[in-house]
Amino acid sequence: MTNRELTKFEEVLRAKQVELTSSRGRLDSIAIERSADQLEEAQYKSARELAVANLSRESAVRHGVAMGLLRIQDGTFGTCVHCGDDISRRRLEAVPWTSFCIRCQEAADLGEESVLESINQPFVDAA
């Protein structure tokens, strides 16, 4: 991968990081509201579960972006953290914070433990 391509990916990752940072503070959407009406209670519960799922997803993307920026710095960006193969350019353009090639991502999605262990490394603060 050329330095120009790496710079482009770094810019994309930094923009995503700013976007995610500006979207923080949604914890208030998890507030527990009570109602005597069972239908309203179910709607509140559903809204809370959706908010928690969104926060979890954002957290995972935030972590992936930080790790992607670290991989650019250490020269491993674009290489699968599990198998060591190159990650396709199309995949990086679609999901620049990915740490897996498509084959290993599919295995991770299916819960294959050996692949999942590749990402269970301690998080290093990128700041």
Encode pLDDT of 63-100 as tens digits.
999 999 999 999 999 999 999 999 999 999 999 999 99
Q: Mind listing the pLDDT tens digit for each residue in 13-63? A: 999 999 888 766 555 556 666 667 788 888 888 888 888 888 888 989 999
- In 3D space, the residue among 51, 64, 52 whose CA is nearest the CA of residue 108 turns out to be 64
Per the structure, the count of domains in the chain is: 1
Compute CA distances 116 → 32, 107, 108, whole Å. 33, 9, 6
pLDDT on residue 112: 87
pLDDT on residue 31: 62
pLDDT on residue 29: 56
Is 51 within a domain? yes
Residue 3 has pLDDT above 70, yes or no: yes
Is 124 within a domain? no
Is 61 within a domain? yes
CA atoms of 72 and 67, how far apart (whole Å): 9
Is 103 within a domain? yes
Is 109 within a domain? yes
pTM of the model: 0.75
Is 9 within a domain? yes
CATH number of domain containing 81: 1.20.120.910
Is 127 within a domain? no
Q: Which residues span the domain enclosing 85? A: 3-119
Is 72 within a domain? yes
